[in-house]
Structure 1
Amino acid sequence: MSSLKESEVRTQNIDINSEPEEKSKWKILWQKHKSKLWDTLDKSPEERRVMFKVDWWILTYACLGYFLKTLDQTNFSNAYASGMKEDYGFKKNEYNLASATMFNIGYIIGQVPSQMVLTRVRYSIWLPTMELLWGIVCMCIAATPKSQHGIHVIYALRFLIGLFESTSYAGLIGLLGSWYTPLELGKRAGIFQISSSVSNMFSGYLQAALHKGMDGRLGLRSYQWLFIFDGIITIPIALYGYLSIPDSPANTKAWWLKPDQKELMRNKIAAAKRAPPKKLTWNSLKALFSSWPAYLFPACFICHVSAIRLYSYMNLWLKYKKFSVTKINTLPTAGYGIQIFCTIIMAWTSDAIHKRYPLIITFTTISAIGALILTIWPSSTSAMFAGWYLLFCETGCGILFMSWINETLAFSAEQRLVCIGLTQTLAFTFQAWLPLIIYNTGNAPFFGSGYPVAMSLFLAEGFGSLIIAYIIKKENTGFTWFFSRKYNDLKLVNKEQIKDDHIIEQNHMDIEQRV
């Protein structure tokens, strides 16, 4: 009897003692992995305060700016499906010429020059000024005459919108790359990308609401109110940019950062081996164009941009299936919800595992399956919806490539900016003419070869990311590809020098890890 009581007492003691142990295990687990949830959670209180400021001021403007840029682009598609086609008398490929080709020509012309301007002009001046201009031009579309002449005027306005908007995406990516380390950049870039998806969702619901409540007000159609509303909300965001953008850590004049906080950010970015901006020189341009990033990243991004263009035609399929105007504008928003979910997975996971390519391969494969379904063209409407929605999953891969460029060219701010601009330019050069061939809206939604071509582009993009990962892995072992990318100059170096430099860098990394 006494032995039984002793056993019960021991069991109770074990249970009592196990509770603190369980709590301790969870605490240790939280301390170990909390930075994967959000990277400032394991930082000092002072650094957390500084990063909160940087996140707030940069991300609010970047996300709002990208939100409006995407809204400008999607509103034309929604307007076309909400009565603009019939009012203006669009025929054959005139919609593609207005929505894609003319816009992309302006976008292409402006990309690289804008990035070059940013090596000499502050972000806080250049980006908001261009945003102000595109907001004004966007409102002008509402005033165009509903005729063939009006279509020609729209061509010119879409060109100007593309020209002014060309500064936004690449410029904001460069801004993010200047302030965040590789362990932080993916998540911030993911949030930045999500603002585009939210904008796409918002545009659909906005057009549906305007069609219901504003169509015919003051003699204007609902799609005209969409252009006006878009321009009106762009102007205050542009003014906000003059106050919020901090330029780069090396030359920031941000009023919301104290001198010691500016110094903390400079030291942090320097420790991440992120070079401060310098004036663009011919030598740095030669160095960039003598290295593989100037070719492989654009090639992958061309596949990305050309393939995801397909999901923007979902509303034309819905129109062919005779859905109501409200459903034509709102059903694609579910795809943007999927897009947001997938982007969060990509951004957080790629930062946590310190690799971009596994996520790119995974999601390009998923969207390739969606394109395969549309290639088969099943009789089931549910299967067709699944095919369209799967196309949305891959969109976040674009921001992973841009983060990857920032990390790969960390040693040179000038090469980073130009490579981002070049990548965007070449991708949109293809988008200016390729959709006219593979996604001919005169045949919509029966694009024929367009669906298998999109599937091939998704798969090529994933394979390209694998090649980039292999090259970077080889470089990290000391291998050089004739020219060393670690110099911001055109210097021919021998392999022994590269090997010695790699050993020195590895020793520094080992010391930092031990500390």
Structure 2
Amino acid sequence: MVMIKTPEVVATKQDVVSTQEPEEKKQINKRFLLFKIDVFVLSFVCLQYWINYVDRVGFNNAYVSGMKEDLNMKKDDLNVTLTCFTVGYVVGMLPNNLILLVVPPRLWLSFCTFSWGLLTLGMFKITSFEQACAIRFFQALFESCTFSGTHLILGSWYKEDELPLRSAIFTSSGLIGSIFSGFMQVAIHTRLDGVGNLEGWRWLFIIDFCITIPISIYGLIFFPGVPDHTSSSSKFSMTRYIFTEQELQYARRRLPARDESTKLDWSVIPRVLKRWHWWFFSLVWVLGGENLSFASNSTFALWLQNQNYSLSNRNNFPSGIYAVGIVSTLLSAFYMSCIPKSRHWHVAVFISVILCVVAIMIRANPLNSAVMFTAQYLGGVAYAGQSVFFAWANSVCHDDLQERAVVLASMNMFSGAVNAWWSILFYAASMVPRFERGCYALIATSVSTIIVSIYIRYLQNIELDNKKVTAYIDANDMMVSEGEDEDEEEYEEDNMTLHERDIERSYP
């Protein structure tokens, strides 16, 4: 393929045919536009996911920091509470993604962040296990907008070769929140335990609330939403001062072609069900989500408590798992973005092999501290699957916006639905310190992930071979002026289909 060298500065095309004299064409600096997208789009979703995990992991940290004893929680009460959260997460997943297609994401995501912040504050007043279950359920309803909703938004701003790194940064922000929550709990317990007649774990929820609310306000003011629907006319939005209308037009048309005839109606059901995307991406993330079970069910913190480690160690040592997750996530993004022949399934296979080793190590000698620490930290590589699989689905489903929203939500929804009973069956708190069932389950899901990932790539290759290269012109978005040869070449390059991009990366 002959590569067209992209000029540094691209001229925009007129948006609407006007009877008046045409305005002078303005110039758009592509790099500066991408920088602004990173600053105002990526910053909010990362802050939102960061505090999401601070709130979420904070509950587990509170459990091992005195909440268990104060609420008289027994046996598998922690797992039941986590299941209540998971059920709420599953129930809210698909509705939240569909709402984002109708309600400006700036408004909805800010509202959801504010709502779960209020519920987090309510946690400091709980006096029973049942109250914790109820609040956690409603927290999850609002928090479920974050992960799959953000991937839907990222796919509306970034091209295929830009997605892996942005998805990795977004995923890493949640892991940073997990690390931050652990250290914050230790600091709170040391300095605030007993202040105001409140236990340290109650202060954790108060401080989480105080951090969450400013983030929701920041999103309401500065987050632009998606380029198709920015709600920039709102008096509370700074979007009209951050992006020009021409920049938003270019942000839309620089992405690959998309079928603009599809709508959010009942036709989305047969469209989704007749394609393999929904079936196999949902399946692969059910497996990928359960590959995270050792980390997501706080098995390391439970093991540390069982082995009589100090409170600070129970909160701090699991941070190493998230640190490994951050490093592996960023490395996988580097591989996907910078290596010409890289493929998503390569990373999936690598992760799965490592997790098989983790399961074997824990099953062989779970009481050996060196073995358990090594295995738990190695297990952090499973977090790289979040950015890899969702970026993969974003790219494959880009042609149909409504299908993409359903597929991304379904991936997380079905994973959560399985995890609601999977954690109790294989990773219950009563199974500490050996987690025998969990080890066997991890081997099964890891091997299955390899098989399904390879098959998805096989189906993707067939789809790419059959895809026709068609020009994309949206009359509502742009008008091509005659005689603008340089702009035509830029337009054609920016609207390369997924097939062309795949061939280009295969034969550098």
Using the size of structure 2 for normalisation, the TM-score is: 0.83
Aligned 8 A contact 2:467 2:499 in 1? no
| Structure 2 residue corresponding to 1:453, chosen from 441, 457, 465 | 441
Quick check: 1:226 aligned with 2:204? yes
Aligned 8 A contact 2:355 2:446 in 1? yes
* Structure 1 residues 508 and 174: CA distance shift in structure 2, 3 A: closer
| Structure 1 residue corresponding to 2:280, chosen from 296, 320, 330 | 296
Residues 338-377 of structure 1: pairs in structure 2 closer than 5 A: 338-352=324-338, 353=340, 355-377=343-365
Amino acid at match of 1:89: N
1:58 counterpart residue number: 41
| Structure 1 residue corresponding to 2:270, chosen from 283, 286, 297 | 286
Secondary structure at the residue paired with 2:87?
A: helix
Amino acid at match of 1:106: G
| Structure 2 residue corresponding to 1:389, chosen from 360, 377, 388 | 377
* Structure 1 residues 505 and 268: CA distance shift in structure 2, 3 A: closer
Q: Which protein has the bigger helix share? A: 1
1:154 counterpart residue number: 132
Aligned 8 A contact 1:119 1:278 in 2? no
Secondary structure at the residue paired with 2:149?
A: helix
The alpha carbon displacement at 1:320 in A equals 1.2
* Structure 1 residues 234 and 62: CA distance shift in structure 2, 3 A: same
2:91 counterpart residue number: 109
* Structure 1 residues 207 and 509: CA distance shift in structure 2, 3 A: closer
* Structure of larger gyration radius: 1
For each residue in 1:355-408, what CA deviation from the matched residue of structure 2 results, as whole angstroms up to 9, or x when unmatched? 211011112211221121111125531112111111111211122111111111
Q: Which moved more, 1:412-421 or 1:366-375?
A: 366-375
2:80 counterpart residue number: 97
Amino acid at match of 1:230: D
Amino acid at match of 1:134: W
Find the aligned partners of 1:200 and 1:506 in 2 and give their Cα distance. 35
1:75 counterpart residue number: 58
* Structure 1 residues 92 and 408: CA distance shift in structure 2, 3 A: same
1:499 counterpart residue number: none
Amino acid at match of 2:50: F
Give the length in aligned residue pairs.
447
The alpha carbon displacement at 1:291 in A equals 1.2
Aligned 8 A contact 2:367 2:433 in 1? no
1:15 counterpart residue number: none
Consecutive unaligned residues in structure 1, runs of 5 or more:
1-31, 481-503
Amino acid at match of 1:335: I
Find the aligned partners of 1:140 and 1:90 in 2 and give their Cα distance. 18
For each residue in 1:402-437, what CA deviation from the matched residue of structure 2 results, as whole angstroms up to 9, or x when unmatched? 111111111111110111111111110011111111
| Structure 1 residue corresponding to 2:254, chosen from 242, 261, 268 | 268
* Structure 1 residues 143 and 178: CA distance shift in structure 2, 3 A: same
For each residue in 1:454-489, what CA deviation from the matched residue of structure 2 results, as whole angstroms up to 9, or x when unmatched? 122122122211111111112222299xxxxxxxxx
Consecutive unaligned residues in structure 2, runs of 5 or more:
11-27, 233-238, 469-495
For each residue in 1:121-168, what CA deviation from the matched residue of structure 2 results, as whole angstroms up to 9, or x when unmatched? 1101111101100000011011012xxxx1111111000001111111
Q: Percent identity?
A: 27
2:235 counterpart residue number: none
RMSD value, Cα? 2.6
Amino acid at match of 2:175: S
The alpha carbon displacement at 1:204 in A equals 0.8
Amino acid at match of 2:438: G
Secondary structure at the residue paired with 2:291?
A: helix
Find the aligned partners of 2:56 and 2:7 in 1 and give their Cα distance. 37
Aligned 8 A contact 2:464 2:499 in 1? no
2:405 counterpart residue number: 417
- Regions of 4+ moved over 3 Å: 40-45, 274-279, 504-513
